[in-house]
Amino acid sequence: MRLLLVFICLCCFSCKVEKNVKNVAPNLALEKRIRPVHDTIGFTKYNWQLDSIYNRLGIQDSKNNLQWKAAISPHDDYKYAGRLYYESLKGINANTIILIGVAHRARNFTLQDKIIFGDFTHWKSPYGDLKVSDLNAEIMAQLPKSSYLVHNDMQELEHSLEAIVPFLHRKNKKLQIIPILVPYINYETIDSISGALSDVVSKILKQKHLKYGKDVAVVISNDAVHYGTENWSGDLAPFGVDDAGTKKARALDMEIIETCLVNEMNSEKIKTFTEYTVQNTDYKEYKWVWCGRYTVPFGVSFANKLNQALYNKPLTGTFLGYASSIDHDLIKVEDLGMGTTAIATQKHWVGYASIKYE
């Protein structure tokens, strides 16, 4: 009799638990999950900081009717690259931005060969909590499961997209984002997954009557060459660290841009970019040290295929500018509670490329 009573009690308890779970689940689904700010040194945490940087750069707030479909933007400290952020993003005015970012710490989590989504509902921004678009979940639902994974820890630790967010959010408070990180991926897989993503996104845009460039755009996060012999993990200065070496390194960056990333885009240019930047015997190893060695080919390939799927023609890339952390007067940020995350000398510098796609 006691066993029977225990069994009945356990059944009742189980039913109550099950009932509670069913009641709680919908609330959990609506729970606000905010991706916090990771880098509070090189980037802005408060809106007044970026407002001050705009003032110091002499940038006048003005709306424009540009509808760039994609752009490549830097992600280094604002002190070094602040103006080029603005130049890179001034024509990105869509309300929904697909952000393609670097996965700097992919090795920490043994991530490779798949793009990385998160399931945050919002990202913390200096201009308020920024909504992650509902399209984020729709895209994942339609992508092949073998092509992506959801990894909030990786997205939370990565700075390459949070660098760009404040510049976009400052000018568009209606902004929504779809953040995607790209870890180690070889060219063949880049080509395959970017094709699958473009198929899914083009279908969604057609179904929802959204226009590429006007309603949805793509921003690709990248820093160009990392050069020098100090405070790097190894010697990254094949041309030397004098004026002549710096000039040669900059020239090679410009060669890569002119050969691979501007004018009418095609898969051969994108493949050539990977041949410049990663070892042909091991795609996880640098050949020429762009930290966008995966984001740039993936992002440009995706953006270009999306345009071909929607309009049956390739994108055209236009060079906007190039700078480095040592070739121009720097913005004063220290009195704003900001700083730098690395030195900038001829023995340790970073390049930045700015390109738009229409």
**CATH number of the domain encompassing residue 46:** 3.40.830.10
- Residue 35 tokens read as 């991706």
In angstroms, the Cα distances linking 229 to 156, 247, 353 are 30, 16, 22
**Paired sense of beta strands 115-117 and 148-150, if any:** parallel
- Who wins on pLDDT, 17 or 82? 82
Q: Which amino acid is at 328?
A: H
Helices marked H in 143-217? 152-157, 165-171, 187-208
**Paired sense of beta strands 130-132 and 263-264, if any:** unpaired
- Residue 232 tokens read as 């790097």
Q: Where are the beta strands (DSSP E) in 105-175?
A: 115-117, 122-123, 130-132, 148-150
CB 52 within 8 A of CB 336: yes
Q: Give residue 135's domain range.
A: 32-357
3-state secondary structure of 350: strand
Helices marked H in 257-294? 267-277
CB 204 within 8 A of CB 135: yes
Closest among 199, 206, 175 to 97, alpha carbons compared: 175
Q: Does 14 map to a domain?
A: no
State the total domains in the chain: 1
How many C-beta atoms surround the C-beta of residue 253 within 10 A?
21
133 has pLDDT over 90: yes
pLDDT at 61: 77
Q: What's the average model confidence in pLDDT over 121-138?
A: 97
pTM of the model: 0.91
Q: Does 20 map to a domain?
A: no
Q: Does 169 map to a domain?
A: yes
Q: What is the pLDDT of residues 10-59, one digit of tens each?
A: 344 333 333 333 333 334 456 899 999 999 999 999 999 999 999 999 99
Q: Does 23 map to a domain?
A: no
Q: What's the average model confidence in pLDDT over 163-179?
A: 97
Q: What is the pLDDT of residues 255-307, one digit of tens each?
A: 999 999 999 999 999 999 999 999 999 999 999 999 999 999 999 999 999 99
Q: Does 9 map to a domain?
A: no
Q: Does 209 map to a domain?
A: yes
Q: Does 10 map to a domain?
A: no
Q: Does 22 map to a domain?
A: no
d(CA 319, CA 358): 12
Residue count of the chain, please give it: 358
| DSSP letter (8 states) at residue 278 | B
Q: What is the chain's mean pLDDT, rounded?
A: 92
